[in-house]
């Protein structure tokens, strides 16, 4: 996860020394003047701190409005001189943390940061009750296989999105023909692991694949396939793909309705369900993560329930992510 700090003080970095040493977080430091330009590029799920030292009241208000308006990150305020007269106002405006005069003398720990993030997630979920949630789709069961699925008709499907992380890194590491071989092998492996659940790669774009599965209303068997894909990444990289680079990928899983058309003839499909899956996988999911929507929650096996933890609310839906066993 990225911790992005906007501060004009040369000493602010000391507060984040422990976070910087942690392998769990990456730290970025920027001057406050670059907030507007850089914060738009901050990855979904990041935590942003804004240092209000020597900033005008108007600058602070603008920064808070901008941070709260993003909706895809959490943020906190750094106030090492303790000049704020109304600390609660920051929380009313959506902040998840406030670093005051006394706390700023110490160092931020990973445990405290995790508590802050958990607080922010709970706050998002409480707020989601007030938001307009998408209506639960009426199931139009597509069955346990493809025999009753007709082209041009709408059905409820299980939809999986899998995307390789770091596509630019891969393109720099391999020549075009080598990269094509890697992508073809990964494509073949996805086909291999999804076919037992009647999965079909329905759409594919460069380093992104979208397998589609029939849904019978009682099971979401691809969930176990995704679970195994997360656990076996290193083995898959070495044995099945056979390249000298450990692959990282993110996975999203959703259940929803869409019109079915044959692969290669999907360009004209207009589907909120498909858009939701792509948005979740490409705008919200972090590299190396497996995320499921609230439509999948009822089908998580009891033995795996503890491995899926709250990951906030995205586009009106509750999201959980897989906690990889240590």
264: region left, alpha or beta (phi > 0 left; psi from -120 to 50 alpha) = left
Residues 7 and 121 in one domain: yes
Q: Let me know whether 174 and 310 are in one domain.
A: yes
Give the CATH number of the domain where residue 76 resides. Answer: 3.40.50.2300
- Inside any domain, residue 147: no
Whether 316 maps to a domain, the answer reads yes
Domain of residue 286, CATH code: 3.30.70.1230
Same domain, 202 and 271: yes
pTM here is 0.60
Considering the domain boundaries, does residue 139 fall inside one?
no
- The answer to whether position 143 is within a domain reads no
* Pair (170, 83) in one structural domain: no
Are both 305 and 167 inside the same structural domain? yes
The verdict on residue 217 lying in a domain is yes
5 phi/psi in degrees, rounded to 5: -115, 130
Whether residues 192 and 70 share a domain: the answer is no
Residues of the chain below pLDDT 70: 23, 71, 120-137, 267-268, 270, 325-326
159 within domain boundaries: yes
Give the separation between CA 72 and CA 188, rounded to whole angstroms: 33
Query: Could you tell me the residue range of the domain that residue 105 belongs to?
Result: 2-128
Looking at the fold, whether 73 and 185 belong to one and the same domain comes out as no
Per residue in 253-286, pLDDT tens? 999 999 998 887 776 676 888 889 999 999 899 9
State the pLDDT at residue 326. 60
Residue 135: predicted pLDDT: 52
Same domain membership, residue 292 and residue 198? yes
- Tokens coding 298: 């009822």
Distance CA 124, CA 145 (A): 38
Give yes or no: residues 261 and 168 share one domain: yes
90 and 162 in a common domain: no
DSSP string, 27-85: EEEE-GGGHHHHGGGSPTT-EEEEE-TT--HHHHHHHHHHHHHH-SSEEEEE-TT---S
Statement to judge: residues 124 and 158 lie in one domain = no
Quick check: is 146 in a domain?
A: no
145 lies in some domain: no
pLDDT of residue 120: 67
| 176/281 same-domain check | yes
How many domains are contained in the chain?
Answer: 2
């Amino acid at each position: 996860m990225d911790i992005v700090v906007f501060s004009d003080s040369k000493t602010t970095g000391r507060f984040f020394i422990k976070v910087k040493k942690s392998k769990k977080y990456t730290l970025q430091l920027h001057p406050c003047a670059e907030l507007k330009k850089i914060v738009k590029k901050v990855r979904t799920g990041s935590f942003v701190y804004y240092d209000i030292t020597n900033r005008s009241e108007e600058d602070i208000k603008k920064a808070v409005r901008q941070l709260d308006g993003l909706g895809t990150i959490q943020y906190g305020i750094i106030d090492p001189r303790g000049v704020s007269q109304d600390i609660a106002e920051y929380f009313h405006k959506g902040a998840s943390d406030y670093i005051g005069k006394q706390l700023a003398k110490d160092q931020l720990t990973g445990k405290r940061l995790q508590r802050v993030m958990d607080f922010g997630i709970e706050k998002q979920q409480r707020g989601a009750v007030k938001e307009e949630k998408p209506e639960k789709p009426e199931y139009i069961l597509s069955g346990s296989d493809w025999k009753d699925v007709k082209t041009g008709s709408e059905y409820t499907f299980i939809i999986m999105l899998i995307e390789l992380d770091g596509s630019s890194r891969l393109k720099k590491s391999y020549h075009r023909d080598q990269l094509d071989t890697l992508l073809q092998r990964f494509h073949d492996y996805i086909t291999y692991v999804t076919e037992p659940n009647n999965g079909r790669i329905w759409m594919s774009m460069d380093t992104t694949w979208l397998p589609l599965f029939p849904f019978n209303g009682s099971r979401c068997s691809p969930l176990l396939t995704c679970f195994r894909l997360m656990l076996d990444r290193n083995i898959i990289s070495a044995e099945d793909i056979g390249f000298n680079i450990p692959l990282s990928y993110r996975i999203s899983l959703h259940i929803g309705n869409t019109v079915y058309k044959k692969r290669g003839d999907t360009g004209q499909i207009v589907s909120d369900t498909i858009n939701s899956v792509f948005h979740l996988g490409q705008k919200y999911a972090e590299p190396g993560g497996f995320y499921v929507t609230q439509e999948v929650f009822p089908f998580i096996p009891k033995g795996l329930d503890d491995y899926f933890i709250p990951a906030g609310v995205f586009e009106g839906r509750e999201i959980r992510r897989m906690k990889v066993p240590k």
